[in-house]
Structure formats: C-alpha cells, structure tokens
Amino acid sequence: MPSVLDLAPVMPVAVIDDVADAVPLARALVAGGLPAIEVTLRTPVALEAIEAIASQVPDAVVGAGTVISAPGVASAVAAGAQFLVSPGWTDALLTAMWASGVPYLPGVSTTSEVVTLLERGVREMKFFPAEAAGGTAYLTSLAGPLPQARFCPTGGISLASAPEYLALPNVGCVGGTWMLPADALAARDWGRVEALAREAAALATVS
C-alpha cells in the first residue's frame, strides 16, 4: 500500500455513533474519491464500525484515530484497522504502534516532537491541532530545517483553508470533518456525503 498520506488529498475523520451507519458512510466517501478514512475511537461502537468497514467496503482503507494507548493499538488492529492515528504520543504508545505492523501517524505540535520522531525513524506524522498549533505558518517554518518530515494536519481545517495546507511541500494530505456534517449524518443523506467527498477529492487538482 502506498503511504496513507498519498491516497487522497483529504482524510475524512469520522465519529460514528451508530454502527449501522459505518458501511454506507464509508461507501459514500469512497465513491466520492476519499478512500482513506479515519474512524476515531471516541464512541462505544468505533471498533465495530472499523470491523464493518474493513470487511464490507473493500475499496476503503480504514484507520483508527484517537489511538492513545497500547491496548487501543491492539484492539484497533484486531478490528481490521489498516493504519493508526494518534493526537500525540508517548514512548509506550510509539512502541506499540511500531510493533503493530501497520502504518501509523503519531501526533505532533512542536519542533522538538518532530525532531525526536525523526531521530527514531518516523517521517510521517499528524500535525494536531493544526490551526491552534500555528497552521500553515508553523508548517512552513518546519519545512526548511526538517524537510524529511511529512504531515497530515488535522484540527480546524475547512474546505476553504485546505488548499493552503496542501500547497506546502511537507503536507501530504489534510484531515477534516467538513464532508461529514452532523445534519447529513443524522438524516443518513449519503448522497450529500458523497458530493462533499467529491468536492474535497478535487482539491488534488488545484493544490
């Protein structure tokens, strides 16, 4: 599998409350051109949702987000997660993610964290919370001294601001939720989700 950062310009971040929504939601995102889907481990059904997507939506590359512990790593991979995303990292979490055998994006928000991860052989990271931690200006500043680091910025990014991030040489993709608006999910309006996903996927041609 190519790097998860290179699958699409945008990685949808999905918070799934009803496992019955997992498969149609994933199918809508994939149909719209966004195959890499981060399902956050913030709800009781998150692992079931990952398992359902992994088994029933073969064109999706489903990952687990908000992974914050070694047991969380093990549970996510057992459910079928094909990549892991954390909002931050510790030595124990980093070791567990490395040992999992699947790609992972540890979260960073400071230069020292980036340097430490580079020292440990990690070159792909989540930049979180992107807007609050300095946004495109911060990432631009990192590109000069640390060009080997690549990021998936997540947190506060919108359709309007995403192109500014995607134009940076050290950004592979961005994470976002705007293609999964709460009212569309509540109405199970998968056609609208697909349309919003297609709009986000088109950013690859304009960045």
Catalytic residue list:
38, 126
- Cα separation, 172 vs 27, whole angstroms: 23
CB atoms closer than 10 angstroms to residue 70 = 17
Contacts of 186-190 with C-beta under 8 Å, sequence gap 24+, read 188/21, 188/24, 190/24, 190/25, 190/27, 190/28
CB-based contact 201:36 (threshold 8 Å) = no
Helix/strand/coil (H/E/C) assignment for every residue in 114-147 = HHHHHHCCCCEEEECCCCCCCHHHHHHHHHCCCC
From the list 180, 153, 165, the residue with the least C-alpha distance to 13 is 180
Three-state SS at 52: helix
